[in-house]
Amino acid sequence: MDFASFVGIITGLFLIVSAIFLGSSDMSIFVNIPGMMIVIGGTIAATLVTFQFKDTVSALRASVIIFTQDKQNPQAMIATMLQLTKVARREGLIALSRVEADSPFLKRALAMASDASDETYIRNTLQADIDSLKMRHYVVQDVFKKMGTYAPAFGMLGTLIGLIQMLSQLDDPETIGPSMAVALLTTFYGSLLATVFFSRLQVS
């Protein structure tokens, strides 16, 4: 994960928590287990209905990589490719098989080049790998895009449930304020998940 994204997420959470703390010393009023169950459980359930189970699991696994793996530097990749051309000119294509590479994609390309494979075969094989990778990334991004849509929707659903429960107790005016606060918490949870986390995951 690049440093700017890390700083952005931490800063956003810090400012939200700070605003909550400054407005009220009692942080427990922002914790509501049924509301969390509605938003988180509902979002996961709707996602499982929309996507295959393996796609959802793959997306959740990819989220760990997104938050732990550094982004590739295009300039560093260009420098690597220029270095490989120098090796090929000086020592021949066979020397490419001895080059250390972190990228599995680059390793495969170097192996085919060192074996003197046909240029069309190499191009088609690598293009197929690229297309397959793009499709996997598209599915992962689509999962988080849908989750970013579902979370606020279930937050609003939780708010409606809370309002119904509140209206059923109008004979006790003292419960209206606390009940309204609990009802609005689900909207808060849904918006927080969508804006701070899911929006970051769907563009990575």
Tell me the C-alpha distance between 123 and 129, whole Å.
10
1 in a structural domain: yes
Whole-number mean pLDDT of the chain?
Answer: 81
Amino acid at 189: Y
The pLDDT-based confidence of 109 (bands split at 50, 70, 90) is confident
Does 20 fall in a domain?
Answer: yes
Please report whether residue 23 resides in a domain. yes
What is the per-residue pLDDT for 161?
87
Domain hosting 11: range is 1-28
User: For residues 3 and 49, which has the higher predicted lDDT (pLDDT)?
Assistant: 49
- Percent of the chain at pLDDT > 70 equals 89
Q: Is residue 5 part of a domain?
A: yes
Return the pLDDT at 108: 82
Determine the pLDDT at residue 41. 92
Q: Check residues 201 and 20 and name the one with the higher pLDDT.
A: 20
Which has the closest alpha carbon to 139: 59, 28, 44? 59
**For position 149, what pLDDT does the model report?**
92
Domain assignment of residue 7, yes or no: yes
Confidence (pLDDT) at 28: 79
Tell me: the pLDDT tens digits for 37-86? 999 999 999 999 999 888 888 888 877 766 666 666 667 777 777 788 88
Give residue 190's pLDDT: 92
Q: How many residues does the chain have?
A: 204
pTM for the predicted model, two decimal places: 0.68
Which tokens sit at 35?
Answer: 């509301």
Residue 165 CA, distance from chain mean position: 34
User: What one-letter code names the amino acid at 102?
Assistant: D
| DSSP per-residue letters across the chain | --HHHHHHHHHHHHHHHHHHHHH-S-GGGG--HHHHIIIIIHHHHHHHHHS-HHHHHHHHHHHHHHHHSPPP-HHHHHHHHHHHHHHHHHH-GGGGGG---S-HHHHHHHHHHHTT--HHHHHHHHHHHHHHHHHHHHHHHHHHHHHHHHHHHHHHHHHHHHHHHHHTTTT-GGGHHHHHHHHHHHHHHHHHIIIIIIHHHTT-
How many domains in the chain? 1
Identify the pLDDT of residue 203.
56
Q: pLDDT for 167-185, tens place per residue?
A: 887 777 777 777 787 788 8
Q: Is residue 148 part of a domain?
A: no
CA distance 162 to 170: 13
14 in a domain, yes or no?
yes
| Dist CA 150 CA 194 (whole Å) | 8
Question: In this predicted structure, what is the pLDDT of residue 103?
Answer: 77
pLDDT, tens digit (0-9, with 9 covering 90-100), for 10-36: 887 888 888 878 877 677 788 888 888
For residue 80, CA distances in Å to 28, 70, 95, 106, 178 come to 53, 17, 15, 10, 61
**Can you give the pLDDT at residue 71?**
65
* Residues ≥6 apart with Cβ < 8 Å to 141: 201, 202, 203, 204
Q: Is residue 117 in a domain? A: no
